[in-house]
Amino acid sequence: MTEIIQKVKNLSIGFKSKKGEEILILRNITTNIKKGETVGIVGESGSGKSTLALAMMGYVKHGLYTIGGECEFNSSNLLKMKNRDLEKIRGRKIAMIPQNAGQALTPNLKIGYQIDEALQLHSDLKEEEREQKISELLNKVRLPSPETIALRYPHELSGGQQQRVAVAMALAGTPDLLLLDEPTTGLDVTTQAHVLELLNFIAKDTGTSMVYVSHDLGAIAQVSDRIIVMYSGEIVLEGPSRDILKKPIHPYTYGLLKSIPKLSLAGLPQSMPGSQPQPGTMHRGCSFFDRCNFSEEKCKNNSPQLEYLEELKTSVRCFNYKSLMNDSQVNQTVNKIKTSLQDKEILNLSEVSISYAKQKLLDQVLNRISDDNPTVKDININIKKGETIALVGESGSGKSTILKSIAGLLRTKGGIIKFDQDRNLSSDLKERDPNDLRIIQLIFQNPDESLNPNHTVEEIIAQPLKLYFGLKGEELKKNIIDLLQKVRLGEFYMSRYPRQLSGGEKQRVAVARAFAAKPDIILCDEVTSALDVSVQAAVLNLLQQLKEDFGTTYIFVSHDLAVVRAISDRVAVLYQGRLCEVGPSKDVYQFPSHPYTEVLLGAVLEPDPDIKPKLVAEDIVEEKPPQKGCSFQGRCSRILGDICKNEVPPWQITNSGNSIRCHIPLKELQKDQIN
Amino acid sequence: MKLDNIYQEEKKSNFAKVAEIIITMASRPSGFIGLSILIFHVVLAFISPYIAPYDFKAINPTLMLQAPSAEYWFGTDDLGRDVFTRTILGGRTALTITFFGSLIALLWGGLLGIFCGLVGGKTDDIVMRIVDAFLSIPWILAMLLIVSLLGTSTEVLIPALGFFYGKGIVRVARAATHDVIAKDFIVSARARGHSNFSIIWNEIIPNVRDAILVEGAMRWSWMLLGFSSLSFLGFGVSPPTPDWGLMISNARGLMSFAYWSVIAPIVGLSSLIIGINLTADAFAKALGIDRSTKAPV
Ligand code: SF4
Ligand code: SF4
pLDDT of residue B297: 44
Q: Find the ligand nearest to A617 CA.
A: 2
Does residue B111 lie in a domain region? Answer: yes
Q: Across residues B60-86, what is the average pLDDT? A: 74
pLDDT of residue A465: 94
Is residue A253 within 6 Å of ligand 1 at its C-beta? no
- The kind and range of the H/E element at A443 are strand A440-443
How many helices (H) does chain B have, and how many strands (E)? 13, 0
pLDDT digit string, tens, across residues A109-140: 888 888 888 888 888 888 888 888 888 888 88
Tell whether B120 is covered by a domain: yes
Return the pLDDT at A271: 83
- Per-domain boundaries in chain A: 592-674
Of A24, A14, A69, the closest CA to residue A303 belongs to A24
Which of the given ranges, A345-359, A644-658, B227-241, has the highest pLDDT on average?
A: A644-658
State the DSSP string of B178-209.
Answer: HHHHTSHHHHHHHHHT--HHHIIIIIIHHHHH
| Mean pLDDT of all residues in B200-208 | 89
B7 and A CB contact within 8 Å: yes
| Confidence check: pLDDT of A368 > 90 | no
Is residue A369 a contact partner of residue A375, using CB atoms and an 8 Å limit? no
CA atoms within 13 Å, Cβ hemisphere of B263 = 12
CB A416 within 8 A of CB A351: yes
The CA-atom distances, in angstroms, between A74 and each of A6, A213, A338 are: 7, 22, 58
Average pLDDT for residues B200-216, to the nearest whole number? Answer: 88
Read off the pTM.
0.81
Domain interval for residue B266? 37-57+70-287
Between residues B120 and B212, the one the model is more confident about: B212
Query: What pLDDT score does B72 carry?
Result: 72
Q: For residues A586-597, give the mean pLDDT.
A: 86
Please indicate, yes or no, if residue B162 is contained in any of the structural domains.
yes
pLDDT given at position A668? 85
pLDDT over 90 (residue B103): yes
A320 lines ligand 1 (CB under 6 A): yes
Query: Which atom in ligand 1 lies closest to the alpha carbon of residue A251?
Result: 5
pLDDT given at position A623: 67
Among A637, A643, A646, A664, which residue has the most ligand 2 atoms within 8 Å of its CB, making it the best to mutate? Answer: A664
A449 interface with B at CB cutoff 8 Å: yes
User: Which ligand minimizes its atom distance to the CA of A630?
Assistant: 2
CB contact under 8 A, B187 and A444: yes
* A290/B contact by beta carbon, under 8 A: yes
Q: Is pLDDT of B114 > 80?
A: yes
The per-residue pLDDT for A171 is 87
Query: Sorting pLDDT into bands at 50, 70 and 90, what band is A358?
Result: low
What is the pLDDT confidence band of residue B22, given thresholds at 50, 70 and 90?
Answer: confident
Q: How confident is the model at residue B211 (pLDDT cuts 50, 70, 90)?
A: confident
pLDDT at B7 (0 to 100): 41
> How much is the CA Rg of chain A, to the nearest whole Å?
26
**A312-348 tens-digit pLDDT:** 889 999 998 888 877 656 666 677 766 666 778 889 9
Which residue blocks in A68-158 are alpha helix, DSSP H? 83-89, 111-122, 127-140, 146-150
Q: Which of A410-419, A588-597, B130-139 has the lowest mean pLDDT?
A: B130-139
Average pLDDT, rounded, for chain A: 86
Tell me: pLDDT of A545 over 80: yes
Residue B121 at interface with chain A, using a CB cutoff of 8 Å:
no
Report how far residue A608's alpha carbon sits from residue A612's, in angstroms, rounded to the nearest whole number. 8
Residue B150 to residue B168: CA distance in whole angstroms: 24
- Mean pLDDT value across residues A64-75: 88
Higher pLDDT, B28 or A568: A568
pLDDT at B11: 52
Name the pLDDT band for A370 (thresholds 50, 70, 90). Answer: low
Burial of A479 (0-12, 13-18, 19+ CB in 10 A): middle
Q: Contact, A584 vs A570, CB < 8 A?
A: yes
According to DSSP, the residues that pair with A661 across neighbouring strands are: A651
Q: Does A446 reach chain B within 8 Å, measured CB to CB?
A: yes
Cα distance between residue A414 and residue A408, in whole Å: 14
- pLDDT of A359: 63
**pLDDT attached to residue A193:** 87
Question: B59 to chain A nearest CA, in Å?
Answer: 58
pLDDT score of A466: 92
The pLDDT value recorded for residue A327 is: 64
pLDDT of residue A614: 81
B76 domain-assigned: yes
Look at B193 and A437 and tell me if their CB atoms are within 8 Å: yes
Strands A521-525 and A440-443 come out as parallel
Model confidence at A158: pLDDT above 70:
yes
ipTM given for this complex: 0.73
Pick from A408, A444, A500: which is nearest to B7 by CB? Answer: A500
Whether A467 and B8 lie within 8 Å, measured CB to CB? no
Q: Buried b / exposed e across B46-58, counting CB within 10 Å, b at 16+? A: eebeeebebebee
The bound ligand whose nearest atom lies closest to the alpha carbon of A665 is: 2
pLDDT score of A674: 58
**Is the pLDDT reported for residue A621 higher than 80?**
no
Q: Please give the pLDDT value at position A634.
A: 85
Interface size A-B, in CB pairs within 8 Å, comes to 77
CATH number, domain containing residue B164: 1.10.3720.10
pLDDT confidence bin for A210, thresholds 50/70/90? very high
CB within 8 Å of B253: residues ≥ 6 apart? none
Asked whether the predicted pLDDT for residue B294 surpasses 60, the reply is: no
How far is A80 from A82, CA to CA, in rounded Å?
Answer: 7
* Residue from B17, B119, B188 to probe the interface with A (highest A Cβ count within 10 Å): B188
Please report, as a single letter, which amino acid is at residue A270. Answer: Q
Distance A608 CA to ligand 1 centre (A): 24
Say yes or no to pLDDT of A486 above 50.
yes
Neighbours of B267 (CB within 10 A): 13
How would residue A107 be classed by pLDDT, with cut points 50, 70 and 90?
confident
Strands A65-73 and A4-16: antiparallel
pLDDT value at residue B8: 44
Q: Is A319 in the pocket of ligand 1 (CB under 6 A)?
A: yes
- Nearest CA among A462, A525, A465 for reference residue A495: A462
What is the mean pLDDT of the segment spanning B168-182? 88
Give the residue from A441, A382, A372, A380 showing the smallest Cα distance to A413.
A372
Question: What is the pLDDT at residue B2?
Answer: 35
What pLDDT does residue A362 have?
65
| C-beta of residue A638 within 8 angstroms of C-beta of residue A595 | yes
CA distances (Å), origin A411, targets A276, A369, A406, A598: 42, 9, 9, 32
Q: Are B184 and A445 a contacting pair at CB < 8 A?
A: yes
Question: What does chain B come to in residues?
Answer: 297
Q: What are phi and psi of A439, to 5 degrees?
A: -65, -20
State residue A176 phi and psi, 5-degree precision: -85, -25
How far, in Å, CA of A89 to CA of A92, rounded? 5
Within a domain: B6 = no
The count of domains in chain B is 1
pLDDT for A205 beyond 80 = yes
Lowest mean pLDDT among A76-80, A399-403, B78-82, B121-125: B78-82
A523: pLDDT confidence band, cut at 50, 70 and 90? very high
pLDDT band at A376 (very low <50, low <70, confident <90, very high): confident
Kindly state the average pLDDT of the residues A438-445. 91
Q: Given CB atoms, is B183 within the 8 Å cutoff of chain A?
A: yes
DSSP code per residue over B217-239: HHHHHHHHHHHHHHHHTTSSSPT
% of chain A with per-residue pLDDT over 70:
93
**Of residues B92 and A362, more confidently modeled:** B92
C-alpha distance from residue A580 to each of A387, A596, A615, B63, B252 (Å): 20, 7, 19, 98, 83
pLDDT at B1: 31
